[in-house]
């Protein structure tokens, strides 16, 4: 079982709709959870982080964390073509020494 | 400008020819790390360093070496490159490890091809 799993996609969403990206993790003691966005040929950039169960909103982005289910998600509201990218879920394990990345979900927003 | 600088950005080399990918950050970060990114496998950690003279293996350290003699620099050394080390490499750094926001700042990446 992979430590952090994401659906690799591609996920295709019409412009203006809500894009939902999901991630599961295996280390039940994980404490910190991050979403990075990576445009093709570019380096990852941090979008959001979340530490506590529940929702965290930042503009059009909402991160959701459910530690009991070992599940973290990212919602993008009012999706724009510029949101087309690969989204990487990253989890800080219980040892707090290593950030483990999922394989990424490729998202395409169709005008 | 705060940044992580990697060089070279692109490199084509041959099997067995030693090479070094340099990484330098100007943010006085304690933590630095190297990742490789391959299609379908995401980012995998090669080595990391918590501070000067402190380094440790990540998930895929075989075939790589690192050193951390100065806080700002964290070079990645391939003593005898092989074709399976063809990949996109990222260096990253952070000032607030393990916890905290703005965790990792990534370099622009180094695309390495080993023939």
Quote the CA–CA distance of B94 and B47 in Å, as a whole number: 14
3-state secondary structure of B40: coil
The b/e string for B42-60 (b: 16+ C-beta within 10 A; e otherwise) is bbbbbbbbbeeeebeebeb
Q: For A70-79, what is each residue's pLDDT tens digit?
A: 999 999 999 9
Mean pLDDT, all residues of chain A: 92
Quote the CA–CA distance of B92 and B31 in Å, as a whole number: 8
Percentage of residues in chain B with pLDDT exceeding 90?
Answer: 79
CA closest to A94 among chain B residues: B98
Q: For A50-93, what is each residue's pLDDT tens digit?
A: 988 999 999 999 999 999 999 999 999 999 999 999 999 999 87
Beta bridge partners of B12: B113
Query: Using an 8 Å Cβ cutoff, are A78 and A13 in contact?
Result: no
Count of CB contacts below 8 A, A vs B? 54
What letter would DSSP give residue A97? Answer: S
- Selected residues 88-107 of chain B with any CB under 8 Å from a CB in chain A: 90, 98-99, 101-104, 106-107
Q: For B61-100, what is each residue's pLDDT tens digit?
A: 999 999 999 999 999 999 999 999 999 999 999 886 655 5
* Residue B101 in this model has a pLDDT that exceeds 90: no
- Quote the minimal CA–CA distance from A97 to chain B in Å: 6
Residue B28's nearest CA partner among B61, B62, B71 is B71
């Amino acid at each position: 079982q992979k430590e952090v799993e994401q659906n690799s996609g591609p996920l295709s969403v019409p412009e203006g709709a809500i894009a939902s990206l999901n991630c599961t993790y295996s280390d039940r003691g994980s404490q910190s959870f991050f979403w990075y966005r990576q445009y093709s040929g570019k380096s990852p950039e941090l979008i959001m982080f979340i530490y506590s169960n529940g929702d965290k909103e930042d503009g059009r982005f909402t991160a959701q964390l459910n530690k009991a289910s070992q599940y973290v998600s990212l919602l993008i509201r009012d999706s724009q073509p510029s949101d087309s990218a690969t989204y990487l879920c990253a989890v800080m394990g219980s040892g707090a020494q290593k950030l483990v990345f999922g394989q990424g979900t490729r998202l395409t927003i169709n005008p | 400008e705060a940044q992580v600088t990697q060089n070279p950005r692109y490199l084509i080399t041959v099997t067995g020819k030693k090479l070094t990918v340099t990484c330098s950050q100007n943010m006085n970060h304690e933590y630095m790390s190297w990742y490789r990114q391959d299609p379908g496998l995401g980012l995998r950690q090669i080595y990391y360093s918590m501070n000067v003279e402190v380094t440790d293996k990540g998930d895929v350290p075989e075939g790589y070496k690192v050193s951390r003699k100065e806080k700002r620099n964290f070079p990645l050394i391939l003593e005898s490159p092989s074709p399976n080390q063809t990949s996109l490499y990222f260096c990253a750094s952070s000032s607030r490890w393990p916890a905290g926001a703005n965790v990792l700042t990534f370099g622009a990446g180094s695309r390495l091809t080993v023939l």
